[in-house]
Chain A
Amino acid sequence: MSISNRPSEDLPQKIVRLIRVRDRTGLVLLHDNYSAALYRILLERLSQAEVAQEALQDVLMKAWDNMDQYKEGKGRLFTWLARIARNTAIDITRSKNFKQDGKTQTLPDYVYNDSNLSEDARIKDPGLRKVLKTLSQDEQRIINLLYFKGYTQKEASKALDMPLGTVKTRVRKAISTLRSVLSDEGIMRLLF
């Protein structure tokens, strides 16, 4: 992802409008801009690529079918989509034939053999690598656990062997750091 691929301010409005009038271009735009983020959320929770891909198709279909239920005033489009993705993942993990190799088993691997630490290398844009570095490893781990992996704060506290209060504080601080650093000015400051 490069900066130019970040969703622009009016893109969500356009997607919502197009999908509501059943224009498939809206679905294409939604996929092009949000699928990777949604897929990450699904993959981290469902672990299996095939299952996650099916779930993603499910999420896109739900967005197509239920766009009228999205209320612009209540939150951003992606927040709505992420919630659909979370609920879809929860539905799948609760179904009988889902092979439970999620949280509990992969937890130690995830925490101590952290693949996320190599994420710096995946990000090609040097500016965005700097963004990542402004978050401490703890902050990054907590965000990833809570946001992508779908841990509750309690679960994260247990997994990281960290008091619940500390987890709460770190989450807030991490998001606050993200806020300042992911604002456009913040990115410009890091790039130059």
Chain B
Amino acid sequence: MDIQAYISSGILEQYLLGDTTTAETADVERMAEQHPEVRAELGRIEMALEKYAVMYGTPPPAGTLTAVLDKVTPQTSSVPTAEKTVIRSGSGPTSWILGLIALIGIAAAIWFFFQQRNTQSSLEEIQANLQTLQEDCSEIQAQNDQLSRSLDVLSSQNTVPVRMEGTPNAPDALATVYFNPSDQVALLSAGSLPSPPSDMTYQLWALIDGNPVDMGIFEIDPASGDLISVPFIEGAQAFAVTLETAGGNPTPNLDQLFVIGNVG
């Protein structure tokens, strides 16, 4: 059978308008069961007729619903009015919607709470990072200042490099004092001295007329750069480095002389 022809024959409309014989009615229902297209078409016609009827309905006289509700529950003494029941009928979906809104509200609050907490912790993280960067920056600035000063010293024409050669204690060792009498500054480069034992330390001396003058202890720290600022000693004729007990000594232990060099 041609379904399309059946659909367009008008029998479906007739069926829904209640204008079919018993045999035709059974036929339409059988066709609707067997053919989804017929069922779908019926549904569309139903919908159109329903909307039309609802749109052009005539409101029934007041009291119709009340009478029916009374019959449905005759034992109920209170007569529900249309208004009351309408409100009650709205309370179902209304409370449902209110519940949903509350749920969404709670979910949103939780979300915002965690979001806010996340924001707070990432803010703290960023602040910590910023502080680290600022510290790094000042440190680099300080290093830069020092290197800059060192460079000024090294590049000055008045600076005299004083090479200190290794003694039999450390034949390969080499150190240099950059000595600038006009600016009265001095730098020590102690790059190739061997690392001292943990309970010992290197100490720098200036020699004036054979007498040692303490110029302080120093550490060999390759990370801090090769150049160390040291006191300027007026009239120094030679410089020497000895290995001393931790903290340094007032007079040098000459047995532990590592490098020595004369000015000029």
Q: Which A residues are within 8 Å of any B CB, using their own CB?
A: 1, 5-7, 24-25, 27-29, 31-41, 43, 49, 52-53, 56-57, 60-61, 64, 74-76, 78-79, 82-83, 86, 119, 123, 128, 131, 143-144, 146-148, 150, 152-153, 168-169, 171-172, 175, 178-179, 182
Contact = CB atoms under 8 A, between A and B. Distances in A.
Nearest to B53: A37
A76 B47 contact: yes
A5 B52 CA distance: 13
Interface string B64-79: 1101110111000000
B18 A74 contact: no
B86 A28 contact: yes
A83 B53 CA distance: 13
Contacts of A131: 55
Contact of A60 (B54, B58, B68): B68
Contact of B10 (A5, A36, A49, A171): A171
A138 to B, nearest CB: 16
Nearest to A34: B54
A182 B48 contact: yes
Contacts of B149: none
A75 B50 CA distance: 12
**How large, as a class, is the contact surface on chain B?**
35 or more
B92 interface: yes
Contacts of B73: 24
5 contacts: A31-B65, A60-B68, A146-B17, A175-B45, A178-B52
B99 to A, nearest CB: 17
A36 B57 contact: yes
A61 B42 CA distance: 27
Which 8 residue pairs of A and B lie closest in terms of their CB atoms, listed nearest first? Answer: A36-B57, A37-B53, A37-B57, A39-B60, A178-B48, A179-B48, A182-B51, A40-B58
Interface of B is mostly: helix
Interface in B91-117: 92
Nearest to A144: B56
Nearest to B42: A75
A43 B60 CA distance: 9
B14 interface: yes
A74 B29 CA distance: 8
A82 B55 CA distance: 14
Interface centre among B10, B51, B61 (most CB of A within 10 A): B51
A79 B16 contact: yes
Contacts of B64: 31, 35, 39, 53, 56-57, 60
B72 A178 contact: no
B35 interface: no
Given A33-B54, A61-B68, A64-B68, A28 B48 contact: no
A40 to B, nearest CB: 4
